[in-house]
Amino acid sequence: MDDLIYLIKESYTRDEIGQMVPKETARAVWASVSSVTRAEWRDGGQNGLQPQLVAITPVVNYEGEKIVQMGDGEKAERYGVYRTYFPPDSDMIELYMEKKVGVYVKKSEGG
């Protein structure tokens, strides 16, 4: 476990005029991050996905989050979790991630 990643959970609340507003809650966890295999990349591409990374972390760290952030500040990159894998006889879970340009970019405050 040599990479610090942020698992981001989205919830929605109503604002004063009744609109649903997303709220994000991030948790930092340790994981091993690497590129996906060629087979994963090929199979994902055939299904309209853009597989890029896999993060392996203890299963107790994962609570169904669909967004993973790598890094902080200006250089932070966000990925969507498109599938998970829980190997038999293991306490680790694999989070398969794809980059979706513009979808997971957090809006800046006041702008």
Q: What is the DSSP string of 71-104?
A: SSGGG-EEEEEEEEE--TT-SEEEEEEE--TTTS
What is the CB neighbour count within 10 angstroms for residue 49? 18
Q: What is the mean pLDDT of the chain?
A: 88
CATH superfamily of 3-98: Bacteriophage SPP1 head-tail adaptor protein (2.40.10.270)
CA angle 45, 55, 63 (to 5 degrees): 105
The reported pLDDT for the residue numbered 111 is: 45
Q: What is the pLDDT of residues 23-55, one digit of tens each?
A: 999 999 999 999 999 999 888 888 888 899 999
Q: Which residues are 74's β-sheet partners?
A: none
pTM, full prediction: 0.81
Closest CA to 80 of 47, 105, 45, 43: 105
Q: Are 68 and 98 in contact (CB under 8 A)?
A: no
- Indicate the pLDDT class of residue 75, thresholds 50, 70 and 90: confident
User: Above 50 in pLDDT, residue 92?
Assistant: yes
The reported pLDDT for the residue numbered 9 is: 93
Q: Helix or strand or coil: residue 9?
A: strand
- Indicate the pLDDT class of residue 103, thresholds 50, 70 and 90: low
CA distance linking residue 23 with residue 80, whole number of Å: 16
Q: Where are the domains of the chain?
A: 3-98
User: Above 50 in pLDDT, residue 72?
Assistant: yes
User: Above 90 in pLDDT, residue 96?
Assistant: yes
